[in-house]
Structure 1
Amino acid sequence: MSLIKRIFNIANEEWNLAVASFFYFFFMMSSYFILRPLRDEMGIRAGVENMQWLFTGTFGTMLLIVPIFGYMINKYPRQKLVPGIYIFFCLNILTFYFLFFYFDTPLISVVFFIWLSVFNLFVISIFWSFNSEIFTPEQAKRLYGPIAAGGSSGAIFGPIIITATVGHVGVTNLLLLSALFLLLATHFLVQLMKHSQSQSERKIIGPIRGSIWEGVKLVVRSGYLRNIGLFILLYTSVSTFLYFEQAHIISSAFEVSEERAAYFGFRDLLVNISTLFLQLFVTERLLRKVGIIFCLTLVPIIASLGFLSLGLNQSIMVLLAVQVLYRSFNFSVQRPSREILFTKVSVQEKYNAKNFIDTALYRGGDAISGWLFTMISSLVSSLQVISFIAIPLSLAWAVTGFRIGKFFSSRSINLDYYESNDVVTKKSA
């Protein structure tokens, strides 16, 4: 144990927090990655020419749900609300289990695709929001890599479970296992809350004042948050272009559903193994020694080179190499760097503004980019030309990452703990 602490630069008083957060993320991502291959296959089954409608439906659903989340976080204490949200999603998974078991129709497949696209953003956004309350910027640079490795380990464990059991229990029964893992994630969330309350100088209490509209106003008023929002919009645009290109290339290369599912499973396995290695041995060193500016611009540069490669060659092997590099560095380097940005904002901004950026703005970028890709593809029949068109978008993303990294480095911590009723210190309590 002491060796692990030294390798990952974890202080004794941080150990319980880091372990609880690791397993919280591990079981949450295990639950999600059991369901993800099913979602990707359903998206292609619905027709690649209709995928922009799936993205638009996801965005519309997100617009309905985000105000509800804003109302609930304004009304209920976080220590009760956050576990309650995870239990609610467990019940959703059980509902889909019965629907697939008795009524496996195309409509249910579409609803499941949209639901899972909403689910993954909400649970991951809440995970990082809660961690940004617990850890300081200095702690985040050291610990977010190992903690994120919990998610990557779960993302590897989920596909392994699918491969080992799907032939024996069937696809539908895997939903029960996904629900169980989400319950285990909720257990470690509760443990993380207990450890943070007993060890941190700040005690998390009460609901957060505000709403989704308060989140929008916070983003509009803050140049720092506006740049984060622009960074997310460009990220979702680039990712959506790559996702749509993937769908077209895969649908042309593989005619059989099982072959496509096998490709997605193999791709996810490579991505998650690469991501885990980077998170354990590279992320912390890059963040601490090279700096957040480099980490925020690295993935956009990889995306630019990836689209250049796809513009020159649309083969499956090139697509696989681009996806593995893009996604592994995105999960291991860009995502922790992006979440560190929120360690220097207020509690209201951590939940109201961050939730708006991570959900409504994120899926809005997906929907807009999906329709933009469809419009361009109707004018330009060649996917290779579309790849070249995406390169300036990736470069604009890199420039925005450089700018927000400079903002972060010069920004002081904006903690309104002593002015807000949301958080008090042990001494004042």
Structure 2
Amino acid sequence: MNASAGTPHALERFRAALRESPPLFWSFLYFFCLLSGYYVLRPVREAMGASADVQAIFPPAMIEFFAARGMALKDFTLQVLFTCTFIIMLLLQPAYGWLVSRYPRRVFLPAVYGFFIATLLVFYVLFDSGVPGRGMAFFLWITVFNLFAVAVFWSFMADVYSNAEARRYYGYIGAAGTIGAILGPILTRTFVERIGIANLMLVSAGFLFACIVCLLRLRLWAVAREQERRTASGEVPMGGEILAGLKLVAREPLLRWMAVLVVMGVGVGTLLYNEQAAIVRKFYPDAQAATAYYASIDLAVNALTLTVQLLVTRWLMSRFGIAPALLIPGAAIILGYAVLSASPLPMIVAIVQVVTRSSEFCLAKPARETIYTRVGREWRYKAGAAIDTVVYRGGDLSFVWLHKLLSAFGSNVVFGAGLLIAAGMTFGAWRLLREESKLPSERAA
């Protein structure tokens, strides 16, 4: 890449891409609205998860159940929330499989977002009236929303774009999400004290309604691409089993290694996230200092992610394919965890956190999603969603409890284990690339 290429050149390339590919504008707007709507509410979720008010988080009956057995629920808040999230994912997977099997794309895509809009209206009432246990319900809902809504988005993008187009445009689409991730918290910080938490639900619902408008427009290009390439049409029900997604993951080597890569990526992120909280409590006992520390990390993550998405991702994947985008994050995380194992200081933790999160958003995620443009629709909508929901949360659940065990031996042990997991993540990326190389350039569904 030309080192002199700066932001003006990147913006000109983006404008040229918009002229070259009309659906890119609607994809850009779609992902921007989706992540804006999510990140408006994400601070509410974080506040619920970290709240000392157990009554606001858990239903009274649940608090009494744990108290009767001599357990303080506040000591296991995140572990309980993550466990319940995984159980909900298991229950929802058959429902989602039934929906995408029995109804065409023009029905189930708006239905997914319509469901989330309807539940946001319910949460508006719950928060407005201060119902006990609303925190747990909202924490579980927004986690499900983030995983399912984003998984559906990327599956739909694979209907709209070819593999070559995905390599050119997914970096730009990811940048739209990053801009939304920046705007969402700004809106929350600006308006939450003026309008209250309940009204944030309505703001997010407005963004999701815009997503429905975008996907209805993009459907026209998806239909045109399927007719041009004579691939299976999304305008007819997909059919198949409702649990086909999980069965495909168990049966197909490519999907198995995709799942391994996702689980290991979740592992390094979860161990780092939980251990970071312990280190921050030790070095930043003041709440304001801790908040400033976290805010600096979020700012750095978003800034680095957006820069790489606009200047590097498109060039890297168009010229070299997805291999560098999958392997570079693994190598960087191995190096970071090796340093943390020797010196777990807050500044080093912050640097590794920034590298870990930004490399996932700007390199690893777009690279993984391009693979789905070369497989059938059942792989995209069922197996892809299963990996991004059940498999993802299963990994999250496993590693949050693993951290509880390892943390008793100190940060060095936690980061040492993380180093091994990062190596497993890199190995999974290598095996995934071997399986991906066996696919034809554009395989008909």
Aligned to 1:388: 416
Indicate if the aligned counterparts of 1:10 and 1:143 stay in contact, CA closer than 8 A. no
**TM-superposition CA deviations, 1:341-389 (whole Å, max 9, x none):** 21221111111111111111111111111122222224x1x12221122
Aligned to 1:125: 151
1:58 equivalent to 2:88? Answer no
- CA shift at 1:27, angstroms? 0.4
Query: Whole-Å Cα distance in 2 between the matches of residues 210 and 199 of structure 1?
Result: 23
Aligned to 1:180: 206
- CA shift at 1:265, angstroms? 4.1
* Distance change >3 Å, CA 113–CA 12, structure 1 → 2: closer
Aligned to 2:196: 170
Aligned to 1:78: 105
Indicate if the aligned counterparts of 2:18 and 2:24 stay in contact, CA closer than 8 A. no
Aligned to 1:401: 429
- CA shift at 1:154, angstroms? 0.6
- CA shift at 1:5, angstroms? 8.7
Equivalent residue letter for 1:24 = Y
Query: Whole-Å Cα distance in 2 between the matches of residues 32 and 108 of structure 1?
Result: 18
Indicate if the aligned counterparts of 2:167 and 2:321 stay in contact, CA closer than 8 A. no
Structure 1 gap ranges (5+)? 418-429
TM (norm. structure 2) is 0.86
Query: Whole-Å Cα distance in 1 between the matches of residues 373 and 389 of structure 2?
Result: 19
Query: Whole-Å Cα distance in 2 between the matches of residues 220 and 226 of structure 1?
Result: 6
* Distance change >3 Å, CA 94–CA 264, structure 1 → 2: farther
Q: 1:192 aligned to 218, 236, 244, which one? A: 218
Correspondence list, 1:85-164, <5 A = 85-105=112-132, 107-164=133-190
- CA shift at 1:93, angstroms? 1.6
Query: Whole-Å Cα distance in 1 between the matches of residues 137 and 283 of structure 2?
Result: 27
Query: Whole-Å Cα distance in 2 between the matches of residues 357 and 216 of structure 1?
Result: 8
- CA shift at 1:173, angstroms? 2.2
Query: Whole-Å Cα distance in 1 between the matches of residues 372 and 417 of structure 2?
Result: 32
Equivalent residue letter for 2:359 = F
Indicate if the aligned counterparts of 1:44 and 1:251 stay in contact, CA closer than 8 A. no
- CA shift at 1:12, angstroms? 7.0
**TM-superposition CA deviations, 1:229-277 (whole Å, max 9, x none):** 1111111112211121123233445556666555544432321222111
TM (norm. structure 1) is 0.89
Equivalent residue letter for 2:430 = F
- CA shift at 1:14, angstroms? 4.9
Query: Whole-Å Cα distance in 1 between the matches of residues 159 and 217 of structure 2?
Result: 15
**TM-superposition CA deviations, 1:162-212 (whole Å, max 9, x none):** 232223223332222111111112211111113433566255311211234
Aligned to 1:245: 275
1:45 equivalent to 2:51? Answer yes
Correspondence list, 1:24-35, <5 A = 24-35=30-41
* Distance change >3 Å, CA 170–CA 5, structure 1 → 2: closer
* Distance change >3 Å, CA 42–CA 262, structure 1 → 2: farther
The count of aligned residue pairs is: 412
Query: Whole-Å Cα distance in 2 between the matches of residues 386 and 12 of structure 1?
Result: 45
- CA shift at 1:300, angstroms? 1.7
Correspondence list, 1:223-242, <5 A = 223-242=253-272
Deviation larger for 206-215 or 93-102: 206-215
1:294 equivalent to 2:324? Answer yes
Equivalent residue letter for 2:437 = S
* Distance change >3 Å, CA 195–CA 108, structure 1 → 2: same
Aligned to 1:412: 440
Query: Whole-Å Cα distance in 1 between the matches of residues 280 and 201 of structure 2?
Result: 25
Equivalent residue letter for 2:329 = V
Indicate if the aligned counterparts of 1:41 and 1:260 stay in contact, CA closer than 8 A. no
Equivalent residue letter for 2:23 = L
Secondary structure of 1:192 counterpart: helix
Aligned to 2:374: 344
Aligned to 2:68: none
Correspondence list, 1:332-371, <5 A = 332-371=362-401
Equivalent residue letter for 2:108 = L
Indicate if the aligned counterparts of 1:210 and 1:352 stay in contact, CA closer than 8 A. no
